Amino acid sequence: MTTRRNWQLDSGLDDPGGMEGEGAKDRQFITALARGFEVLRAFDSTDPLLGNQEIASRTGLPKPTVSRITYTLTKLGYLKYVPKLERYRLGSGVLAINQAYLASLAIRDLARPHMLELATASRGTVALGDRDRLSMVYIELQRGVSHVILHQDIGSRLPLARSAMGWAWLANAPESVRRQVMDALKRQEGKDWTAVKKQIAQAEREIADSGFCLGIGCWVPDINGAGTAFLAPDGQTVYAFNLGGPAFVLSEERLREDLGPRLVGMRRAIEADYQRQGLR
């Protein structure tokens, strides 16, 4: 059974009020275009094939509207229709946008060798993440040699409110941005917000003390990790990193005493390279 998605809560800071909220009153905001992107966002790795009714349920859009949007997106190459299944899947046009986005991120090339070095030394997975609404999305990833491989890759998502990478992002975000994201998280978490807010506050204290925070089984049981981040010279972009892996490889003690400080050292080296290149 599909779950109706609340567009306004999922969108976080990037939503200027929601399609049916303040955004609809903004003369610069094109609601039809926003709805088209919401249809594309309805697809994910667990549900790559969706029908119009499922898309309508996920986005909260009327089915006739969804039908017109999927028709248009199919004509443009962003969706493919599978007649046998009467379902849509993402088309190659989406991949072209994805490739252009990744190619535009110079930090990936700068970070890759540093990330690989730490991943190899730790036998864990080191990732670089960017915020998308109320999630962190991996934009670069390097794996060490381990008996357990996490099923994650570029494009994998972590909950911003419940991951070391997300907490590190929050601790380094510009205050105006952080306030808006925290408000959106509060709405999303509902009755769990008090506990989640305590975790975020604890992580921010850890980052203030040592430059990194720990996530001990906070996202997936028996998976531990550490997170750190830095604010780019443009004063808006936050680059977040995490080191993660199974608890028997990355124990809390090892993360706290050895690998967490190494993660901070890696981040500082990448930050220095970034500034040396004069990137913004």
Helix/strand/coil (H, E, C) string of 149-176? Answer: CCCCCCCCEEEHHHCHHHHHHHHHCCHH
**In the numeric block, which tokens belong to residue 165?**
């990478």
The pLDDT value recorded for residue 220 is 83
Q: What is the mean pLDDT of the chain?
A: 89
Question: What average pLDDT score do residues 101-105 get?
Answer: 83
Domains of the chain with bracketed CATH = 7-96 (1.10.10.10), 105-276 (3.30.450.40)
pLDDT digits (tens, 9 = 90+) for 172-226: 999 999 999 999 999 999 999 999 999 999 999 999 999 999 999 987 889 999 9
As a whole number of Å, the end-to-end CA separation of the chain is 44
Residue 242 pLDDT > 90, yes or no? yes
Task: Indicate the pLDDT class of residue 160, thresholds 50, 70 and 90.
Answer: very high
Residue 25 CA to residue 31 CA, distance in Å, equals 10
Task: Indicate the pLDDT class of residue 23, thresholds 50, 70 and 90.
Answer: low
DSSP conformation class of 249: T
Task: Indicate the pLDDT class of residue 25, thresholds 50, 70 and 90.
Answer: low
The pLDDT value recorded for residue 45 is 80
The pLDDT value recorded for residue 10 is 45
Contact indicator for 203, 197 with CB cutoff of 8 Å: no
The pLDDT value recorded for residue 153 is 87
